[in-house]
């Protein structure tokens, strides 16, 4: 996965907690922040679901389109 360098401003207490977690787990600050963001955004769940799925790309796309159409019908 491609990585992009960025700069952000965060609360000092949050950064301190990141550094503590990183030290306790032997990870870098960036890894801890990325894991937290992935979890908060639900990306970790999507990764786990994709890892367990045994559908081919065509089957997965068909299911996704079917779900999208069903969702649109319910909204009307």
Q: What pLDDT score does 36 carry?
A: 93
- pLDDT > 90: what percent of the chain? 45
Residue 47 in any domain: the answer is: yes
Mean pLDDT of 26-36: 95
Of the CA atoms within 13 Å of residue 15, those in its CB half-sphere come to 5
How many domains does the chain contain in total?
1
Question: What is the rounded distance in angstroms from the CA atom of residue 39 to the CA atom of residue 46?
Answer: 10
Domain around 31:
12-75
CB 39 within 8 A of CB 29: no
What share of the chain in percent tops pLDDT 70? 89
Is 4 contained in some domain?
no
Is residue 24 in a domain?
yes
The mean per-residue pLDDT over the stretch 17-35 comes to 96
pLDDT digits (tens, 9 = 90+) for 36-70: 998 888 777 666 676 777 777 788 788 888 888 88
Q: What share of the chain is helix, strand, coil (3-state, %, to 5)?
A: 75, 0, 25
Q: What single DSSP character describes residue 5? A: -
Whole-angstrom distance, CA of residue 66 vs CA of residue 76: 16
30 within a domain of the structure (yes/no): yes
What pLDDT score does 72 carry? 79
């Amino acid at each position: 996965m491609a990585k992009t360098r960025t700069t952000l401003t965060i609360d000092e207490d949050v950064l301190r907690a990141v550094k503590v977690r990183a030290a306790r787990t032997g990870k870098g600050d960036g890894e801890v922040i990325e894991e937290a963001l992935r979890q908060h955004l639900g990306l970790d769940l999507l990764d786990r679901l994709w890892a367990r799925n045994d559908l081919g790309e065509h089957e997965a796309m068909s299911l996704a389109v079917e779900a999208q159409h069903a969702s649109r019908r319910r909204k009307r």
